[in-house]
Amino acid sequence: MARWKPALLFVLLAANSLGAEPNAKLGEKALLSRAFNPPIWTKKAYDEVWKQWGIDQKPENYHAAFAARYGLHPAPYDNGGYPMGIRETTFLFKSTIATDCLMCHGGSIAGKSYVGLGNASLDIQTLYEEMNAADGRKAQTPFVFSYVRGTNEAGNMSVFLLSYRTPDLVFQRPPRDLRMREFLCEDVPAWWLLKKKKTMYHTGGADARSVRSLMQFMMHPLNRAEDIYKAEKDFRHIQAYLLDLQPPEYPFAIDKKLARDGERLFVKHCAKCHGTYGDQWTYPNRIVPIEVIGTDRTRFDGISKEFGRYYNRSWFAREKKGWYADDYLASETVGYQAPPLDGLWATAPYLHNGSVPTVYHVLNSKARPVVYTRSFRTGVEDYDAEKLGWKFVELKNVDDQKLSPMERRRIYDTRLPGRGNGGHRFGDRLSEQERWAIIEYLKTL
Ligand code: HEC
Ligand code: HEC
């Protein structure tokens, strides 16, 4: 009997490491119940931040008022009443507030919240400034987190955070100069698209199988290198959950006949870049050269070679795990990746910088609004079910200087850096009728 013991032990150990098989259920639990970063603010700051809003009384329905001010959404899971992206935690026996992935990756549309829908309402700049001030700290963020509401500088956050780390992710000072840029104005992609992608991020600059790449936000100064290494097994499960997510179905009526006409036109004009849909779907994973796509190139130029090289020397790129994998390096690409269009109806605004409010305007470049604003609410009444996207108001002659920074961020001015709305003119040659048919088909994806 005794002779079997070591073998049994070996089998048990092997089973234990196989237990790390990515599991979507465990990923969902980890993602929706834990903050992977230490808290940023005290709970008192959350409770008292309304004093920064220029009102004399705390609003009645406080969680909802907080969510509306900063562009957050009700959580469709148990989050203690807080909106998605904000989480109450305990730190050194005190109640504290942390943010999580859902601040940017939890959105809502036609009155319903979804985990994995990019948050197109978020004013992350005002959120951080006012919460910092409510905590009695300097309000200013270390660099601009957002230039225009609904977009953010997530790429710059990675550059900034990595500059304070050695390749093994040990905190270092002074930071390394990784040539941070400005005006990335990034729209947040929907997570349910990840399953089709070989490369991810707007330029396709990272391998979509990389788990470690998803952990860049863990470089909070109070997280030690070991804390980040240790979380990798949870992020394997989180990735499995992201790969399992499905797009929400279009909730309004669809003209089936028109949609069938649209499908034919789509296959003819669009499928070579965006793929085909249905059970036998195909996705070419095409990265279209910047000269061909012609959309704003600030994000394309926005991540420096210095960052790419340093990232590739770091722990993030050394993801050798088992016999099937290789390193997941960041790479320079030629342009922007043509995304899959599943659940497109829900992911307005469009293009990598969110510069175009509706699908109709993607398909008719001459009609795109130059300067506009929208409600930043996400109810049925804020949605344009005909043009497929957000209702908006075009603005003429705005006197920018009279507005507060928060009000200014509500205005999408496509003449400003990073916010250009040109390019992707593939729909311009279509007739109006053909456009409406394609839009009808896109509702079915
Ligand atoms: C500050 C907002 C923000 C936070 C917080 C955030 N993300 Fe993102 N995420 C983005 C933006 C913006 C992009 C697109 C970046 C680009 O390519 O320019 C993105 C891209 C991604 C992608 C690639 C999607 C694709 O199809 O290309 C994944 C996966 C992802 N994030 C996962 C996560 C996870 C997991 C977390 C939490 C650990 C997280 N993100 C936290 C803003 C955020
Ligand atoms: C030559 C390749 C190519 C063709 C052809 C093409 N697209 Fe695109 N499309 C892209 C790329 C690349 C992007 C991303 C551009 C960016 O974000 O700057 C894109 C973006 C989009 C978006 C915005 C997606 C989002 O989530 O923001 C829509 C909608 C879209 N295309 C629809 C269409 C339709 C409909 C057609 C056919 C009439 C079409 N495209 C033809 C390459 C193409």
Residue listed under structure tokens 């700049």: 125
**Is the pTM higher than 0.75?**
yes
CA nearest 342: which of 386, 286, 257, 276? 276
Residue-wise pLDDT tens digits, 377-432: 999 999 999 999 999 999 998 877 889 999 999 999 999 999 999 999 999 999 99
- Gap between the Cα atoms of 362 and 425, Å rounded: 8
Atom number of ligand 2 nearest to Cα 347? 26
> In this predicted structure, what is the pLDDT of residue 237?
98
162 lines ligand 2 (CB under 6 A): no
| Atom 36 (ligand 1) nearest CA | 101
Three-state DSSP class for 178?
coil
In the DSSP assignment, the letter for residue 3 is G
Answer yes or no: is pLDDT of 18 > 60. Answer: no
Question: Would the CA dihedral through 133, 65, 406, 40 be positive or negative?
Answer: positive
**Beta bridge partners of residue 276, listed in sequence order:** 282
Answer yes or no: is pLDDT of 17 > 50. Answer: no
Element (DSSP H or E) covering residue 88: strand 86-91
Q: What is the distance in A from the centroid of ligand 1 to the CA of 428? A: 31
DSSP letters along 371-397, please?
EEE-----SGGGEETTTTEE--EE--S
> In this predicted structure, what is the pLDDT of residue 14?
42
> In this predicted structure, what is the pLDDT of residue 326?
64
How sure is the predictor about 321, in pLDDT bands with cuts at 50, 70 and 90? low
Residues 266-270, mean pLDDT to the nearest whole number = 98
Answer yes or no: is pLDDT of 213 > 50. Answer: yes
Residue-wise pLDDT tens digits, 59-92: 999 999 999 999 999 999 999 999 999 999 998 8
Least distant ligand from the CA of 354: 2
Out of 32, 105, 200, 209, mutate this one to test ligand 1's pocket (max ligand atoms within 8 Å of CB): namely 105
- Gap between the Cα atoms of 146 and 178, Å rounded: 19
Residues 11-26, mean pLDDT to the nearest whole number = 64
Residue-wise pLDDT tens digits, 326-342: 678 999 999 999 999 99
Residues 363-377, mean pLDDT to the nearest whole number = 98
388 lines ligand 2 (CB under 6 A): no
Q: What is the distance in A from the centroid of ligand 2 to the CA of 336? A: 10
345 lines ligand 2 (CB under 6 A): no
Residues with CB under 6 A from ligand 1: 101, 103-105, 124, 152, 154-155, 186, 188-189, 193-194, 197, 200-202, 214, 217, 238, 242, 299
Q: What is the distance in A from the centroid of ligand 1 to the CA of 191? A: 8
User: What's CA 48's distance to the chain center, in Å?
Assistant: 28
- Gap between the Cα atoms of 411 and 231, Å rounded: 39
Least distant ligand from the CA of 99: 1
438 lines ligand 2 (CB under 6 A): yes
The helix, strand and coil proportions of the chain, stated in percent and rounded to the nearest 5, come to 40, 10, 50
**What phi-psi label fits residue 24: left (phi over 0), alpha (psi between -120 and 50 degrees) or beta?**
alpha
